[in-house]
Chains A and B, each alone.
Chain A
């Protein structure tokens, strides 16, 4: 039969050829280097420049790190150990680490309190940050502000309990009346809370023990990185509700409320934080009743909260403006009133869009807490510039301290911004 085939196929491969490796120029390290570092003249120049600058950076910093002295009593001790060689005097960090973290007047035997509060902060904030965690943990989050306040400031525990009681009573009154009217519930809740606090004031004074369970620590003793953390956490949490209110006020149809909000926001955003801190330091006292005596940390918290609330308000306004008009109309067409449609429809969506912006503001605010060193508060930077650099032991150690401060801030801020990016990817429910 085979010879009947008039047009035989001359040759046909029956098995496929084995795959060859790609050409050496298109694979492996050499290809990657050519593609990513030397693909064009410009790229080659850039790469060489990068190598040269890396060389200079490494040769100037590596010996400084490697020869660093970690154990010494003073800078003179460091110099003796180094004997003229280049090296950092990191002993200042080991010697003064507690001062950098807690300030120089906080009692040594109480360090466990802010440390515990800091550790619990992660437990409290975890269910807020990660939705996958059990929702029951949120009860601890609600409890945390009181707990942290008591741990850090101490004093009579009844004052803390009375504060908490005020919030509970306020919430109960609010939930009783909110069904009929949001405004009634809100006003009733606030009034009930204040009444509770007012009544509690008498009781607490009457039953306050002579020696409280946790010793009371006045706020002027707070310092170091702890002060930055306190200011950052407190001010961001307080400014969120205020910022939401300001943003809603700015979007409001009522002209007087809108004007008040616009003037406040634009004024605060137009001046540097440092002038607001001057206000807290030297001016705010003039506007308070003559006998009141706010401590500086509280005045600073008020001003920084106002500052960040204005910025958060602008971020949330962006979120509100980004929602389609249909969402607002949907709320109206369901017959919801203003408070209901905002609470149930608009704000959940607007806040979700605004999260990255809010996190940016929070990071910026946390960095700006270093400015309190300008009004002679001893936060991390204030500690370095004040007590530590001025001391006879460590006068002249400069880079090590500021590097440590930079690393501390970097860890926190970079961590927060990475979380924000993760959340942004997770929340991106729109189709792309």
Chain B
């Protein structure tokens, strides 16, 4: 009879750090850590020596000093007496603004183009292919500059003047000029708060209603319409409240005074150029993602749904889209990330985003290169990591539950 025993455990010897796979990993990691520390120390020592030689130090006090430059496109109060820190905040808000606008239009454009590229209309699908290929294969910087040039070619405010004006405002409210687009600005009077609150309350009500409809469907099998009631809930209470409160929200129309338009809101030319260019460029990529996502759903899925007697709209909503979205959304979110990062090209057309304020004018005026670029990188890193975190949460929520 034989007995089974573990092989005798040999005592640890120093040579096992190289020869034994159980311990070799520690050796490699120690070497890697050592090299990393040496490299960091080397770079750090160089930094200290270079800074000492140039008589510089690392300090963030410049953020509190007056900036001394003006920013045309801004969302918050800012003038040339404000500090560099405030200029950076204006830049951050501008980056977020153009990223937000770009994401919305790029999604609309991309989904439309992606769906149309799959259409059985030969002409339309070919045109969409040309759009996608043309924009995907040319640098976004070129598109930004080209669209900036297009906006520059629009009528100057001068052409709106006098009796023989060659241009006129659209609906007397919107003016397209080479300095940007002037649109009416809302004026918030007393009581406008209630209207806004009503609007938000009706959005909540829509979600509540849809939830009620779904529960009703699951418990009783009775299906109520959702689309029209949702639209109604969105519009009707707000409009009613608007008239009940005596029309508290007015509009401030842009008017031609002197050489330029006054009043209203100006959407500056750089913002328009950057916004449109990012939208059409990223839209082309999103179109490809959407097309790939729809093509990834086997035809059998929609055929199976049809054979169960579902109507085409419901096949799309309940069978194809939920599966396609699982494929589409992760690359879509990384495209959103690209919009946020590509918005740093604002510096090429003079849009005052964070790269142009903190990484451009502030850096050049104060000479604080290390501090400015570090803050700039941290900001973009924060945005990217937040978007990635959202994506991970989404991915986990739609992950197929496999056994």
- Please list the residues of chain A having a beta carbon within 8 angstroms of any beta carbon in chain B: 35-37, 39, 43, 46-47, 50-51, 53-54, 253-257, 260, 266-267, 269-275, 278-279, 282-283, 285-290, 337, 363, 367-368, 370-371, 373-374, 381, 385, 398-399, 402, 405-406, 409-410, 413-414, 417
User: Which residues from 18 to 51 on chain B have a C-beta closer than 8 Å to any C-beta of chain A?
Assistant: 21, 25, 28-29, 32-33, 36, 43, 46-47, 49-51
- Complex CA distance for A301 and B167, rounded to whole angstroms: 49
B193 contacts the other chain (CB 8 A)? no
Task: Chain B residues near A289: list those with CB within 8 A.
Answer: 46
Task: Chain B residues near A371: list those with CB within 8 A.
Answer: 141, 345
Known: A254-B25, A409-B138, A417-B137. A270 touches B385 (CB 8 A): yes
Do A37 and B376 touch (CB < 8 A)? Answer: no
B151 contacts the other chain (CB 8 A)? no
Do A373 and B119 touch (CB < 8 A)? Answer: no
Task: Chain B residues near A47: list those with CB within 8 A.
Answer: 121, 123-124
Nearest first, the 3 A-B pairs at minimum CB distance are A270-B384, A413-B137, A36-B122
A–B complex contacts, Cβ < 8 Å, 29 sampled = A47-B123, A50-B123, A50-B124, A253-B25, A254-B28, A254-B32, A256-B29, A256-B33, A257-B28, A257-B32, A270-B380, A271-B380, A271-B381, A272-B341, A272-B380, A273-B341, A274-B344, A274-B359, A278-B359, A278-B376, A279-B373, A286-B50, A286-B51, A370-B139, A370-B142, A374-B345, A406-B138, A409-B142, A410-B137
B53 contacts the other chain (CB 8 A)? yes
- Complex CA distance for A263 and B248, rounded to whole angstroms: 53
CB nearest to B334 among chain A residues: A269
Task: Chain B residues near A413: list those with CB within 8 A.
Answer: 136-138
Shortest CB distance A268–B (Å) = 10
Task: Chain A residues near B197: list those with CB within 8 A.
Answer: none
- Complex CA distance for A279 and B50, rounded to whole angstroms: 15
B232 contacts the other chain (CB 8 A)? no
Do A290 and B355 touch (CB < 8 A)? Answer: no
Do B123 and A286 touch (CB < 8 A)? Answer: no
Do A290 and B149 touch (CB < 8 A)? Answer: no
- Complex CA distance for A257 and B381, rounded to whole angstroms: 22
- Complex CA distance for A279 and B376, rounded to whole angstroms: 11
Known: A270-B381, A290-B53, A414-B133. A367 touches B140 (CB 8 A): yes
Task: Chain B residues near A286: list those with CB within 8 A.
Answer: 46-47, 50-51, 369-370
Shortest CB distance A322–B (Å) = 15
Do B50 and A290 touch (CB < 8 A)? Answer: yes
Do B29 and A290 touch (CB < 8 A)? Answer: no
Task: Chain A residues near B119: list those with CB within 8 A.
Answer: 43, 46
B146 contacts the other chain (CB 8 A)? yes
CB nearest to A399 among chain B residues: B149
CB nearest to B53 among chain A residues: A290
Task: Chain A residues near B140: list those with CB within 8 A.
Answer: 367
CB nearest to B385 among chain A residues: A270
B377 contacts the other chain (CB 8 A)? yes
Task: Chain A residues near B43: list those with CB within 8 A.
Answer: 287
CB nearest to B122 among chain A residues: A36
CB nearest to A53 among chain B residues: B127
- Complex CA distance for A427 and B2, rounded to whole angstroms: 54
Task: Chain A residues near B341: list those with CB within 8 A.
Answer: 271-273
Task: Chain B residues near A255: list those with CB within 8 A.
Answer: 29
CB nearest to A402 among chain B residues: B146
Known: A269-B384, A414-B133. A283 touches B370 (CB 8 A): yes
Shortest CB distance A49–B (Å) = 8
B116 contacts the other chain (CB 8 A)? yes
Task: Chain B residues near A53: list those with CB within 8 A.
Answer: 127
Task: Chain B residues near A417: list those with CB within 8 A.
Answer: 136-137
User: Which residues from 336 to 383 on chain B have a C-beta closer than 8 Å to any C-beta of chain A?
Assistant: 341-342, 344-345, 347-348, 355, 359, 363, 369-370, 373, 376-377, 380-381, 383
Task: Chain B residues near A274: list those with CB within 8 A.
Answer: 344-345, 347, 355, 359
B145 contacts the other chain (CB 8 A)? yes
Known: A257-B29, A270-B385. A405 touches B142 (CB 8 A): yes
- Complex CA distance for A394 and B268, rounded to whole angstroms: 27
B134 contacts the other chain (CB 8 A)? yes
B307 contacts the other chain (CB 8 A)? no
CB nearest to A276 among chain B residues: B377
Shortest CB distance B154–A (Å) = 14
Do A283 and B369 touch (CB < 8 A)? Answer: yes
Do B32 and A256 touch (CB < 8 A)? Answer: yes
Task: Chain B residues near A35: list those with CB within 8 A.
Answer: 120
Do B116 and A409 touch (CB < 8 A)? Answer: no
Do B137 and A398 touch (CB < 8 A)? Answer: no
Do A275 and B380 touch (CB < 8 A)? Answer: yes
Known: A50-B124, A256-B32. A278 touches B373 (CB 8 A): yes
Task: Chain A residues near B342: list those with CB within 8 A.
Answer: 272
- Complex CA distance for A53 and B124, rounded to whole angstroms: 11
Do B373 and A275 touch (CB < 8 A)? Answer: yes
B51, B121, B139, B145: the one within 8 Å of A367 (CB):
B139
Task: Chain A residues near B134: list those with CB within 8 A.
Answer: 410
Do B123 and A37 touch (CB < 8 A)? Answer: yes
Shortest CB distance B22–A (Å) = 12
- Complex CA distance for A410 and B146, rounded to whole angstroms: 15
Interface centre among A43, A270, A370, A402 (most CB of B within 10 A): A270
Do B122 and A260 touch (CB < 8 A)? Answer: no
Task: Chain B residues near A275: list those with CB within 8 A.
Answer: 344, 355, 359, 373, 376-377, 380
CB nearest to B382 among chain A residues: A270
B53, B138, B377: the one within 8 Å of A271 (CB):
B377
Do B142 and A46 touch (CB < 8 A)? Answer: no
Known: A36-B122, A272-B341, A417-B137. A260 touches B50 (CB 8 A): no
Do A406 and B142 touch (CB < 8 A)? Answer: yes
- Complex CA distance for A283 and B363, rounded to whole angstroms: 11
Task: Chain B residues near A43: list those with CB within 8 A.
Answer: 119-121
Contact with A along B260-298 (1 / 0, CB 8 A): 000000000000000000000000000000000000000
Known: A287-B47, A399-B149. A381 touches B124 (CB 8 A): no
- Complex CA distance for A45 and B21, rounded to whole angstroms: 69
A46, A282, A290: the one within 8 Å of B49 (CB):
A290
Task: Chain A residues near B137: list those with CB within 8 A.
Answer: 363, 367, 409-410, 413-414, 417
Given contacts A274-B359, A410-B138, 19 further A-B contacts (CB under 8 A): A37-B123, A46-B119, A53-B127, A254-B28, A260-B36, A271-B377, A272-B344, A274-B345, A275-B377, A278-B359, A278-B369, A278-B376, A282-B363, A286-B47, A286-B369, A367-B140, A370-B139, A371-B141, A413-B136
- Complex CA distance for A274 and B25, rounded to whole angstroms: 37
